[in-house]
Amino acid sequence: MEDNGRIIKTEYSEEMQKSFIDYAMSVIIARALPDVRDGLKPVQRRTLYDMYELGIRYDRPYRKSARIVGDTMGKYHPHGDSSIYDALVVMSQDFKKGMPLIDGHGNFGNIEGDGAAAMRYTEARLQKVTQEAFLADLDKDVVDFMPNFDETEKEPTVLPAKIPNFLVNGSEGIAVGMTTSTPPHNLSEVIDAVKAYMQDETISTRELMRYIKGPDFPTGGIVTNKDELLEIYETGTGKIKVRGKVEFEKLKGGKTNVVITEIPYPMIGMNIAKFLQDVAALSETKKTLDIVDISNQSSKEGIRIVIELKKDADPENFVNLLYKKTRLEDTFGVNMLAICDGRPETMGLKAILKASVDFQFQVATRKYTNLLAHEMEKKEIQEGLIKACNVIDLIIEILRGSKDRAMAKACLTEGKIDGIKFKTKESKIMATQLMFTEKQANAILDMRLYKLIGLEIEALINEHEETMANIYRYEDILERRDSMAQVIMNELDEYKKAYGRKRRTAIENAEEAVYKEKEVEETEVVFLMDRFGYAKTVETAVYERNKEAADAENRFVFTCKNTGKVCLFTDTGQLHTIKVMDLPFGKFRDKGTPIDNVSNFNSEKENIVYITSQTELNLRQVIFVTAHANCKLVDGGEFDVSKRTVAATKLEEGDKIVSVMSVLEQKNIILQTKEGFFLRFLLEEIPEKKKGAIGVRGMKLGPKDAVEKVYYTQNGIETSVEYKDKKLILNNLKAAKRDTKGTKIRV
């Protein structure tokens, strides 16, 4: 490492540790976490202060966001324009903030996840509450200022926020090794809690919750774990369960619409679209058959998501399904982490209120100390002017007799009369007795003649009386904590009256949603899958009417229970199970659905060898034959599994399954290899093994040969296949023993 031309040797790990800690602390303190005093991150604070400096007040015209962003970046926040604009946008969104701090004009995004327009199109100005409660007293030296990044400007270290913004607007941020996540709260409730704390600092968190019922999300909704909130507010961490608000609309014909009018706070943004997709998926995957239609009718007036249900549907049961399977019930993770006294700290409700109140007293002390000093200065000048009015003739004589301002000033402040010409001896004696202060003398010398009018003198006396009243009031506020507390509480009452609103989020203890699935009447259906992998089920009567076409057009055809499962064996040795209810059920000519869509089967990596119902498997043995000629019988009950995918057998390296078949009435098995060898032997020669076994060798193979096809025959029934364009009767093949070479067929 080089320092001023000198090479300094240092341990690499130590340098990395120091650099990482410096970086982490920079992110934690100066970027990602809010200050508990004003509830703002640095980028938010700088943006609001810059708007204040630019004069973009609530009662003045909007200004382009690009101007605000550019000025903020150039003066205070040199971290890129996107972070500043994003902060500005969020502070203007009433669906994210309980109390927006910026008044946005133009497209500032919406609750459904559409982003804001580019900063060159949008305009903004401060909200009235921001100007009054966050920025109003910056000219009274109430907070410390620090140099900006290039030391050409000054910026406040914290804004003199008069309300606990950390609670009202909440905060979310990701630092290094820590995150903050504070829900928004109701302004009126927070102000009531602050006043309660100021009146009794020993108040408990439980008592504070008489005022702050819980979070108040701008999206409304229902908090369902009321009893857990006390622990969350005591520790500063926990999980809040939030549900959307649902209403039922009765329609003609006995149908019901489920209408979602409020969504959980975590659903704002793109999660609304995800919710609609999840609801549609419930219907597609047959988790529910109650949905007729779903539409998003949300507008500027509010959220309105309408789900139309079938006539015989149970709306309440359906809503419970939405709570369990979608984000209509979600969790808001609470971690009330903020910068307190220069370091990150997870704070409970009482600690947050204490920090806010302490800050209010600090700000008020500095404010009224400054105001008192200003009034004392006014008092000094007013008393000087009043005194001067009483001897105005003498002062005029002094001014007319002086050669310059300095001579007159010296006479007024010190009684020096050297060089001054007086009309009378009495005036000269009186002049030596003058003892005005420096400020009083300057005020007298700067005084205009119209101030000598009677009404003006009377106004000066009234102003002096007002100044004295202010001094008495300010001294009382500074000397008595109760007086200062009353002033702070009066201000809070004004903010509550002007900006308070009713609670939007309901707080209750709700039972866990329980969805009762409708009992399906068990019937027998026919499974059909064509050579392209499209599968469906049809009624047995439909199959019987179309039996010839069904058998000819489909690769797999078998009967199964509609409440059962289908077992799919692949050449890679995997078993995929599919619920029959997940398959489309309908007309014979319906296309069906790709088998990949309803199972873990991947057609790009594996091939289907055999499909049958799990009910059938449970009653039979299953024959496995691989390309390496390994054979085994497995009890079908071993494949009655709950997992969607399991290993059906164990394979040697480079091996694959050629045939899987349920044992029915087969007596003989015939193995055919690539080089044209056929081996016929009795099925009873194959031993039964566990599904995890490789099996026994069924046929001796040449170095490059492999089993290609497997056939089965029954005694007394002729079975023939086409081999090299000629008919081959399998029953006529010479019977042999397992694990022999077989016979090569030449045609």
Q: Which residue did the predictor score with more confidence, 5 or 11?
A: 11
Q: Which residue did the predictor score with more confidence, 430 or 673?
A: 673
Q: Among 223, 420, 242, 402, which residue's Cα sits nearest to residue 327?
A: 242
DSSP single-letter state for residue 32: I
Q: Among 98, 84, 106, which residue's Cα sits nearest to residue 31?
A: 84
Task: Look at residue 577 in the predicted model and tell me its pLDDT.
Answer: 94
| Average per-residue pLDDT for the chain | 89
**One-character DSSP codes across 595-614:** GGGGSS--TTT--EEEEEEH
Per-residue pLDDT averaged across 385-408, rounded?
82
Give the strand order in the sheet containing 743-744.
707-713, 668-673, 677-682, 743-744
CA angle 119, 124, 128 (to 5 degrees): 160
Q: Among 111, 30, 103, which residue's Cα sits nearest to residue 61?
A: 103
In terms of Cβ atoms closer than 10 Å to its own Cβ (0-12, 13-18, 19+), residue 745 is middle
pLDDT band of residue 336 (cuts 50, 70, 90) is very high
DSSP single-letter state for residue 227: G
Per-residue pLDDT averaged across 214-240, rounded?
94
Task: Look at residue 719 in the predicted model and tell me its pLDDT.
Answer: 87
In terms of Cβ atoms closer than 10 Å to its own Cβ (0-12, 13-18, 19+), residue 670 is buried
Per-residue pLDDT averaged across 63-77, rounded?
95
Q: Among 580, 487, 496, which residue's Cα sits nearest to residue 137?
A: 487
pLDDT at 519 over 80: no
- Which SS3 state, helix, strand or coil, does residue 687 take? coil
pLDDT band of residue 515 (cuts 50, 70, 90) is low
Task: Look at residue 388 in the predicted model and tell me its pLDDT.
Answer: 82
Task: Look at residue 27 in the predicted model and tell me its pLDDT.
Answer: 55
Per-residue pLDDT averaged across 360-376, rounded?
93
What percent of the chain has pLDDT above 90? 57
Beta strand 593-594 with 630-635 is: unpaired
Q: Which residues pair with 710 in a beta bridge?
A: 671
Per-residue pLDDT averaged across 522-538, rounded?
91
pLDDT band of residue 726 (cuts 50, 70, 90) is confident
Beta strand 123-126 with 63-64 is: antiparallel
81-85, 318-322, 381-385, 680-684: segment of lowest average pLDDT: 381-385
What is the C-alpha separation between 60 and 341, in angstroms, rounded?
Answer: 36
Q: Among 671, 714, 718, 663, which residue's Cα sits nearest to residue 688?
A: 663
Beta strand 743-744 with 329-335 is: unpaired
Residue type, 486: Q
Task: Look at residue 405 in the predicted model and tell me its pLDDT.
Answer: 86
519-542 burial, b at 16+ Cβ within 10 Å, e below that, comes to eeeeeebbbbbeeebbbbbbbeeb
Q: How many CA atoms lie within 13 A of 734 on its CB side?
A: 9
269-281 burial, b at 16+ Cβ within 10 Å, e below that, comes to bebbeebbeebee
On whether the CB atoms of residues 60 and 105 are closer than 8 A, the answer is: no
Per-residue pLDDT averaged across 415-434, rounded?
81
pLDDT band of residue 673 (cuts 50, 70, 90) is very high
Considering all CA atoms of the chain, what is the largest pairwise distance in Å, rounded to the nearest integer?
A: 158
pLDDT at 3 over 60: no
pLDDT at 17 over 80: no
pLDDT band of residue 440 (cuts 50, 70, 90) is confident
Read off the tokens for 56: 């973009």
pLDDT at 370 over 80: yes
pLDDT at 197 over 70: yes
pLDDT at 10 over 60: yes
Q: Which residues pair with 622 in a beta bridge?
A: 634, 662
pLDDT band of residue 28 (cuts 50, 70, 90) is low
Note the pLDDT tens digit of each residue in 549-607. 999 999 999 999 988 999 999 999 999 999 998 888 888 888 888 999 889 999 889 99
Q: Among 577, 579, 597, which residue's Cα sits nearest to residue 525?
A: 579
- Which SS3 state, helix, strand or coil, does residue 120 take? coil
Per-residue pLDDT averaged across 238-245, rounded?
94
What is the C-alpha separation between 424 and 559, in angstroms, rounded?
Answer: 134
Catalytic residue, candidates 52, 58, 85, 121: 121
Read off the tokens for 395: 């002062």
Q: Among 731, 719, 727, which residue's Cα sits nearest to residue 747?
A: 727
135-144, 301-310, 389-398, 520-529: segment of lowest average pLDDT: 389-398
pLDDT band of residue 648 (cuts 50, 70, 90) is very high
In terms of Cβ atoms closer than 10 Å to its own Cβ (0-12, 13-18, 19+), residue 476 is middle
Note the pLDDT tens digit of each residue in 296-318. 998 888 899 999 998 888 889 89
Cα 606 to Cα 532, 569, 570, 574, distances in angstroms: 14, 10, 6, 9
pLDDT band of residue 543 (cuts 50, 70, 90) is very high
* 474 a catalytic residue: no
pLDDT at 23 over 70: no
Task: Look at residue 1 in the predicted model and tell me its pLDDT.
Answer: 47
